[in-house]
Amino acid sequence: MNTPLDSSWLVTGAAQGLGRAIALGAARRGAAHVTVADVDAAAAEQVAAEVVAAGAEATVLVVDLRRPDEVRGMVDDAVDAMGGLDTLVNNAGILDVTFQSDATFDTLSEDSWDAVMAVNLKAVWLATQRAAPILRRSTRSPSVINAASVSGMTGYPSPAYAASKGAVIQLTRSCAISLAPDVRCNSFSPGSFDTPMARHRIATAADPDAQLRQMTGNHLIPRAGDPDELANVVCFLASSEASFLTGANVPVDGGTMAWRGTRA
Ligand SMILES: NC(=O)c1ccc[n+]([C@@H]2O[C@H](COP(=O)([O-])OP(=O)(O)OC[C@H]3O[C@@H](n4cnc5c(N)ncnc54)[C@H](O)[C@@H]3O)[C@@H](O)[C@H]2O)c1
């Protein structure tokens, strides 16, 4: 796969899980520089060391994506550090239960709703808006790649999360229109992947086994996804191999969206 050599990547939420796999996947495929942006400084430093070991330069930016000034500053600092920007991956995401462990439709607080919308949706718009002039100047297959979810494609009982992810799919299409033809914009919609987010959700469930069955039982491929399987798709979307792909939402879901069933 031809990920543009010498490309500069900014990946949010890159300190663990899917973001870490994306950062390392880019480095392994010849990205010149990867900015690891996350609220977790220590874990981001660890991933940056792994990026360097994989052959790319790395920059760590500590950012709270709930804060618009920090989102804009993140893009500016990444561009300064890397001397440009070719691929923006708006990967970071949080759940309704991230700051409120008892969050349900009935109990979700306004603060939790706002936090989910700020990280999962508003930061995606703000970072893309800030990065757009830089991306338009890139000659290395510039693109924006956003983390959506199958929970944004079909009904899901976490109201803020599901609404934010559905909105990301629409925001991606809107950005694709606005930035065409210079900058491609696509989203990916994971099924259940084996990441700290998913593990935490299973571990804190009243019945962890039932939760695991609920999360992977609708995969036609009967297991959780490996983060590298998601990174493979993101690296393809960023590459010139995907030069005619924009405005798309790509399910990476083990077949979840292909049917209405649950495996016995
Ligand atoms: N793992 C799955 O099964 C799955 C399924 C569907 C969608 N997704 C989406 O994929 C993306 C990555 O998921 P993951 O499972 O790797 O998540 P994760 O929770 O394992 O990692 C998310 C990362 O984002 C960072 N982050 C959280 N809040 C932040 C903030 N305010 N500012 C900066 N960084 C912040 C965290 O520190 C963490 O490093 C998310 O957008 C998620 O919604 C994941």
Domain ranges of the chain: 8-196+227-253
Q: Quick one: pLDDT at residue 2? A: 54
Distance 197 CA to ligand 1 centre (A): 6
Question: How many C-beta atoms lie closer than 10 Å to residue 159's C-beta?
Answer: 16
Looking at ligand 1, which atom is closest to the CA of residue 230? Answer: 10
Q: Which residues of the chain have pLDDT under 70?
A: 1-5
Q: Quick one: pLDDT at residue 1? A: 56
Looking at ligand 1, which atom is closest to the CA of residue 17? Answer: 16
Taking a C-beta distance cutoff of 8 angstroms, is the pair 156, 250 a contact?
no
- Tokens 């899917």 locate to 18
170-194, pLDDT tens digit by residue?
A: 999 999 999 999 999 999 999 999 9
Q: Quick one: pLDDT at residue 201? A: 82
Q: Regarding the domain delimited by 8-196+227-253, which CATH topology (the fold level of the hierarchy) does it fall under? A: Rossmann fold (3.40.50)
Q: Quick one: pLDDT at residue 3? A: 60
Q: Quick one: pLDDT at residue 190? A: 98
Backbone angles phi and psi of 107, in degrees to 5:
-110, -10
Burial of 106 per CB tally in 10 Å (0-12, 13-18, 19+): exposed
Amino acid at 176: A
* Closest C-alpha to ligand 1, atom 38: 13
- DSSP states along 162-175: HHHHHHHHHHHHHH
User: Which of 9, 125, 161, 236 is the catalytic position?
Assistant: 161
Question: How many C-beta atoms lie closer than 10 Å to residue 258's C-beta?
Answer: 12
* Closest C-alpha to ligand 1, atom 23: 13
Q: Which of 95, 195, 221, 234 to mutate to test the pocket of ligand 1 (most atoms within 8 A of CB)?
A: 195
